[in-house]
Amino acid sequence: MPEETIKSFNVGYLQVLDDEGHADKDLMPELSPGQIKELYELMVLIRAFDDKAFKLQRQGRLGTYLQVKGQEASEVGAAYALKKGDWIFPSGRDVGVLITRGHPMHMLLQYRGGDERGMKAPEGLDNFPITIPVSTHIPICTGAAWASKMRREDVVHMAFFGDGATSRADFHEGLNFAGIFKVPAVFVCENNGYAISLPRARQTAAETLAQKAFAYGFEGIQVDGNDIFAVYSAASRAVAKARKGDGPTLIECVTYRIEGHSTSDDDSRYRTKQEVEEWRKKDPVDRLEKYMKKNKILTDEYKQSVTQKTRDMVEKAVEDYEKVPPPEAADFFANTYAQPTEQLKEQMKEL
Amino acid sequence: MDLPVDKVESTRASGPAAEGKRTRTYREALREALAQAMERDSRVFVAGQGVDDPGAVFGTTKGLAERFGRQRVFDTPIAENGITGIMIGAALAGMRPVLVHMRMDFLPMSMDQIVNHAAKWRFMFGGRVNVPLTIRCIIGRGWGAAAQHSQSLQALFVHIPGLKVVMPSTPYDAKGLLLASIADENPVIFVEHRWLFDQSGYVPEEEYVIPIGKGVIRRKGRDATVVAISHMAYEACKAAESLEKDGIDIEIIDPRSLSPLDDELIFDSVKKTGRLIIADTGWKNCGVGAEIAARVASDALGYLKAPIRRIATADTPTPCSFELEKEFYPSSEDIIFTVKELLNKSPLSPQPYRR
C-alpha cells in the first residue's frame, strides 16, 4: 500500500503596501480616507509617546520602559479591527495597543512610573492589564473567550505577545484549548525578531510562527507587520470569523524592534547597526505616509498639524502623570482581596 | 449570592449523626453543593480531568455531566497550568468556575497561573476585577500514592496573599464551604482529604454557607487545646476518647479555613487551657502549625503553661510502602502521647519531642 498525503497545509503571507507605499488594489482592505488618517494619527501619536517615555526614563522621571518603535503598524492595525466591548490582553510592550484602545496615556506613564493604578482601565474600556510574564495571558484570553461563547455574548478577545512567547507551554495550552472549544479569540504574535537578545531563528526551527496554528486545528497567517493595511486586513478577517463563531486565528506580524528590548538593554551586543538600518527603511509610519502622499490624503500642512497635535497630547499626558498624587498604603491592602481579611486590617494598623 | 448561614454546627467531627437528621457522606455533600450551585447559578461550571468520566473524581461529580450537560461539566486536555489560566480568564469574564484536581500534587504544575495570576489580577488591575475561581484538590494517603500523589501542600498556598485556603473535615462543612468558595469573589483553594469521602454526617438539604475564616470547636475541654486540621480532626476526636478515660479533657479546634485563619478562636482556647498542640496533615517545616504557633506565641504567650507542640509529617517525601505509611502519618497515638507529655511540662522544658 503506497504512502499517501492525508493532510497538507499552506501558510499564507499577506502584504498590501510595499516599502515605497504602493498598495495592491486587490488586497486593499475597505478603509475610508478618514479611517486611514485615524490610523496614521494613532501611529504618530504612539511614536511620540514612545520617544517621550524613553526620554523620561533617561531623566529619571519614569521606570523601566519597553519601546514599541517599529511595531506601530502591528499594534494599531490589529487593535483597530476590534470594536468597543471586545477585550484585549496586552503584553509588556503593547502601549500601542492600549493607546489605540483609548487607554489614557497619562495612566500608561503612571504604570511605567511604578503605580498599579495606571492599569486600572477606566470603566467602559475592556482592556486587560499588561501581563509581564511571557505568554501567561494567552490561556487567560482563551478562557475569557470561552466564557463569552458560553454566555452567547458578541465579544471577541485578542491577545498580543511576542515571538518568544510561542516557545512557552502557555502558548501551546492556550491555543490548543482555543482550537478544541472554537473560542472567539484572535492571537496576535508580534514577531519582532528577538526575545530580548535571542534571535528568532533560535526560538524555533519552524519556518513561520503562523504555521503552529495548524497543529491546533485552526488557521494561521503571516503578515508584513510593518504594513498597516496587511495587519488590519488579516485582523479584521480574523475578528469577523471569531464573531461569526468560526473559531480562533493566529496572526504572525513580521516586524522589528528598532530600539533595545527595554531601557536597560544594550542591543548593540547582539545585533549589527546595519541590520537595524535595513529595517528602518521598512518603517511602518514612513510607509503609510508615502501611501497617503501618493493618494493625496496627506499634505505637508496636515502632517505638521498631526506632529504638533500628537506632541501636545503627549506633553499634556506627562503633565497629568506628574500631577497624580502617589498611591497610599491602604491601596495595597484594599486590593489584595475583594474584602480585606481581619489579618490584613491588623497589618494595616501596624504600618 | 446570599445564602443562609446555618448556625447548626456539629460539636464532633466523627460519629453517627444526630438521630432523625438527614445524613450524607462527604462525597455526597460535595456533589450536592456542586449540583445546587449549578442549578441556581448558570455562571457556575465544573472542569477538570475526570469530572465527566465514570469514576467522576471519587464520585464527587457523578451524574453532573448528564444533568447539566457537557458544556458545563467537562474533562479538559491534560494541561494543568494552561487550564488554570483558562479558568482564570473565564472567571474574569464573569463565570464562576470550579476546577477539580484529583490530587493536590497537580497544583505545583499550575503554580504560575495560581500564584502569579489568580492571586494577583485584582491587585494589579487596581481592584477593577475579581477572580472568583474555586480549585478543588484532594490530598491523603492510600497504598501506592507515594511521593507524587499524596502531598498536603496547603502551606504553600496559605503563604500567598490573594488566595484563600479551606480544608473541610465534615460532610456538613464540605457542603457549606464549597458553596461559600463558589460564592466568594476571590480564588479559593479547596482541599479535600481522601479518607474523609466515606464519612457521613448531618447535611441539611437546603443551601447554606460556612463563612470562610471561621473555625469551629469540635470538642470543649480544659486541659489542652488541639488545633486539628482536616483528617487530623478525626484523629483528635479518637485521641480525646482515649484521654478521657485517663481523666484528661482536651479541647479540639478545627480551623476549617487556613487562610484567613480564625486565630481568635485559637487564642481564646489557649487562654483557657494554657497548652497548644497543632496537628496538621502536612510537613512540619514552615507548615501551617508553625504559623499558628507563631501567632499564639505572639498574642497569647503569657497564657501558656507548656511549650507549643506541632504534630506533622516528618520532613521527607511520602513513602510508597504501606508499612512505611503507617510510620509516616501521624495519628491519634501521637496526639495522646503529646498531650500527656505536655501535661507534665513547664514552658521552658528543654526535652525534645520525638516527631
pLDDT for B217-238, tens place per residue?
999 999 999 999 999 999 999 9
Considering the candidates A47, A101, A103, A261, report the single residue annotated as catalytic.
Answer: A261
User: Which of B176, B202, B228 is the last residue in one of the domains?
Assistant: B202
Domain match, B179 and B58 both: yes
Q: Looking at the structure, tell me whether residues B87 and B168 fall in a common domain.
A: yes
Instruction: Identify whether the C-beta of residue A174 lies closer than 8 Å to the C-beta of residue A136.
Output: no
Whether this prediction's pTM lies above 0.95 is answered by no
* Domain identity same for B179 and B254: no
Q: CA nearest B111 in A: which residue?
A: A136
User: Distance, in angstroms, between B320 CA and closest chain A CA?
Assistant: 31
- The C-alpha of B162 sits at a distance from chain A's nearest C-alpha, in angstroms, of 5
B153 CB-contact burial (10 Å; exposed 0-12 / middle 13-18 / buried 19+): buried
Confidence of residue A329 (pLDDT cuts 50, 70, 90): confident
CB < 8 Å to A332, chain B: 123
Could you give the CA distance from residue B251 to residue B269 in angstroms, rounded to a whole number?
8
B162 and B261, same domain (yes or no) = no
Sequence-distant (6+) residues with CB within 8 A of A249 are: A186, A187, A213, A218, A219, A220, A221, A234, A237, A238, A241, A242
pLDDT beyond 90 at A249: yes
d(CA A48, CA A44): 6
Which residues 136-165 of B have a C-beta within 8 angstroms of A? Answer: 161-162, 164
In this structure, what CATH number is given to the domain that contains residue B240?
3.40.50.920
**B149 and B288 share one domain:** no
Q: Could you tell me if B119 and B173 lie in one domain? A: yes
Question: Is B231 annotated in the active site?
Answer: no
pLDDT digits (tens, 9 = 90+) for B171-209: 999 999 999 999 999 999 999 999 999 999 999 999 999
Evaluate whether residue B169 is within a structural domain. yes
Strand order in the sheet with B224-228: B216-219, B250-254, B224-228, B276-283, B309-313
What pLDDT score does A131 carry? 85
B298 lies in a domain?
Answer: yes
In a domain, B210, yes or no: no
Say if residues B313 and B326 touch (Cβ distance below 8 Å): no
**Based on the domain organization, do B198 and B78 belong to the same domain?**
yes
Task: Let me know if B149 is a catalytic residue.
Answer: yes
B99: domain CATH number is 3.40.50.970
Indicate the number of domains in chain B.
2
Count contacts between A and B (CB, < 8 Å).
138
Grid cell for residue B236: 483528635
For A253, the 3-state DSSP assignment is strand
Which structural domain, as residue segments, surrounds residue B324? 216-342
CA atoms within 13 A on the CB side of B223: 17
Question: Which residue, A282, A278, A253, is CA-closest to A97?
Answer: A253
> Is residue B240 one of the residues assigned to a domain?
yes
Residues 6+ apart with CB under 8 A from A259: A54, A67, A69, A70, A267
> Are both B306 and B161 inside the same structural domain?
no
Whether B135 and B76 share a structural domain: yes
Cα(B33)–Cα(B31) distance, rounded to whole angstroms?
5
Cβ of A143 within 8 Å of Cβ of B92? The answer is yes
What confidence category does residue B19 fall into, taking pLDDT thresholds of 50, 70 and 90?
low
**Is the domain of B131 the same as that of B35?**
yes
The residue behind cell 486565528 is A249
Known catalytic residue at A270: yes
Residue B98 domain flag = yes
Nearest to residue A254, comparing CAs of A277, A240, A234?
Answer: A234
Residue B86 domain-assigned (yes or no):
yes
**Neighboring chain A residues of B127 at a CB cutoff of 8 Å:** 120, 334-335
The predicted-structure confidence for A109-141, as pLDDT tens digits, reads as follows: 999 999 988 998 888 888 888 888 899 999 999
In angstroms, the Cα distances linking A349 to A267, A329, A342 are: 47, 11, 11
- pLDDT, position A286: 97
Residue at grid coordinates 477538570: B48
Q: How far apart are CA B210 and CA A204, in angstroms?
A: 51
Residue ending a domain, among B138, B168, B202, is B202
- Tell me the shortest Cα–Cα distance from A121 to chain B, in angstroms: 8
The predicted structure's pLDDT at residue B9: 47
Question: Could you tell me which residue, B19 or B31, shows the higher pLDDT?
Answer: B31
A-chain residues near B92 (CB < 8 A): 128, 140, 143-144
The matching CATH number, chosen from 1.20.140.10, 3.40.50.970, 3.30.420.10, 2.40.50.100, for A12-350 is: 3.40.50.970
- Domain-ending residue, one of B173, B202, B231: B202
Decide: B253 and B266 in contact? Cβ < 8 Å: yes
Domain for residue B304, yes or no? Answer: yes
Tell me the domain boundaries of chain A: 12-350
Confidence band for A82, pLDDT divided at 50, 70 and 90: very high
First vs last C-alpha separation in chain B: 45
Secondary structure string (H, E, C) spanning chain B: CCCCCCCCCCCCCCCCCCCCCCEEEHHHHHHHHHHHHHHHCCCEEEEECCCCCCCCCCCCCCCHHHHHCCCCEECCCCCHHHHHHHHHHHHHCCCEEEEEECCHHHHHHHHHHHHHHHCCHHHHCCCCCCCCCEEEEEECCCCCCCCCCCCCCHHHHHCCCCCEEECCCCHHHHHHHHHHHHHCCCCEEEEEEHHHCCCEEECCCCCCCCCCCCCEEEECCCCEEEEECCCHHHHHHHHHHHHHHCCCCEEEEECCEEECCCHHHHHHHHHHHCCEEEEEEEECCCCHHHHHHHHHHHHCHHHCCCCCEEEEECCCCCCCCHHHHHHHCCCHHHHHHHHHHHHCCCCCCCCCCCC
C-alpha cell at position A309: 497635535
Q: Do A143 and B260 touch (CB under 8 A)?
A: no
Pick from B166, B164, B137, B148: nearest CA to B229: B166
With an 8 Å Cβ cutoff, is B126 touching chain A?
yes
Give percent of chain B above pLDDT 90.
Answer: 81
Same domain flag for B86 and B155 = yes
**pLDDT, tens digit, 9 for 90 and up, residues B25-66:** 999 999 999 999 999 999 999 999 999 998 999 999 999 999
Q: Please report whether residue B9 resides in a domain.
A: no
> Do B49 and B146 belong to one domain?
yes
